[in-house]
Amino acid sequence: MKKMIRDIDVANKKVLLRVDFNVPLDKQGQITSDGRIRAALPTIRHLLEQKASIIVCSHLGRPNGKQLPDLSLRVAAERLSELLNRPVKMAGDCIGPQVQEMAQNLRSCEILMLENLRFHSGEKENDDSFARALAGLAEVYVNDAFGACHRTHASIVSIPKYLPAAAGLLLEKELKMLGGLLENPKHPFVGLFGGAKVSDKVEILENTMDKMDVLLIGGAMAALFLKAKGYEIGQTAIELNEINTASALIKKAAGSRVKLVLPIDLVVTETIDTNANAETVLADGVPPNMKIVDIGPQTVNDFQKKLSDSRTVFWNGPMGIYEIPLFAIGTKGMANYLADIDATAIIAGGSTAEIVDDLSLTDRMGFVSTGGGAALKYLSGTPLPGVEALPEAQF
């Protein structure tokens, strides 16, 4: 059991709070989804209640050690200020004399946002001097950036060597909810998987499949599994090098408790664009010149029936090409249904979380992970460096 924020004294202390404000931005540099900022609010409010002064740090995008104005965290600071209805000061950098002075002068309940950590190469390189410079700004370190805990970056794994450290409320909740899937999910437990790639889901499927009662597969993943079973999939792009993987997973499912369910019908088209002519065909009737772009209405109904008596659902990956409305019907059908049923629906994966947020369904799901790749790695059974770096709780 790792040390949590309630286990350490943060009252009237300067707290370096590592968050994951790696929010999506549009071409104008505006935030398109503030879910990751809102997810950190409980921890920030807890610190404010304890009269702490808060130094917030995060990465944004991939500036590769360069100062890129388009990837400044100022936009996140402004949004955080709006959500908290209080000022958030913005530093011009994340280390250096000016930042040190701003941190030193920070008063109780004041908030300072540091500039993008990845503007310095020392962050990704896990440079010890960079970590020490960050640690020198505060008295306590709190990691609430679950989405970055699979990285061995300086602000994630090295700062706990220099400051009393603990997990924030979001990180604690992520570990509790995702850990519950691995340790003791309520049955029937249904897995719903989609998206384009099976390669980044192999380990999680292998680690969780024997805990599931039903495994539903849609998206381009379904095309790979159908191909492995000898079905025609037309011009659908798949990971051909993963055919053997799909075959092995089909075989594993046949020898375990889980019932593997593939689509009954599919939406297909010749061209993938907003003006495409789409049609619905049975899974064994995909024309050679067509591409699979969504699950069909029979499959939506079948998947919903399989989900109807579930107690736990884990969903990762869209059912079709969600970005094009014509091919988003299957994904929306799953999302809306999961929001209505009496089951704990746990959503993980960056694109899936963004879809749920886009449909304004986040608050109606059991839990929407902010973790993306970190969530999938954790569920695959791989220890997360950021979690491992935190001290154990003392009882």
Biggest CA pair distance of the chain: 69
Could you list the mean pLDDT of each consecutive 10-residue stretch along the chain, which spans 395 residues? 94 98 92 91 98 98 94 97 98 97 97 98 97 98 97 98 98 94 93 88 89 94 94 90 91 90 96 89 94 96 96 95 93 96 90 89 91 89 95 83
| Pairing status of strand 291-295 against strand 265-269 | antiparallel
Taking Cα atoms as reference points, which of 226, 229, 192 lies closest to residue 208?
Answer: 192
What is the reported pLDDT for 199?
83
CATH class in words for 5-169: alpha beta
What is the reported pLDDT for 349?
83
Residue numbers annotated as active site: 36, 197, 350, 373
178-379, what's its fold? Rossmann fold (3.40.50)
Neighbouring-strand partners of residue 345: 313
What is the C-alpha to C-alpha distance for residues 241 and 10, in angstroms, rounded to an integer?
51
**Cα-to-chain-centroid distance, residue 76:** 18
Cβ atoms of residues 56 and 110 within 8 Å: no
What is the reported pLDDT for 393?
86
Residue 170 in tokens: 């979001």
Q: Where are the domains of the chain?
A: 5-169, 178-379
The reply to whether 5-169 and 178-379 are identical in fold is yes
Note the residue count of the chain.
395
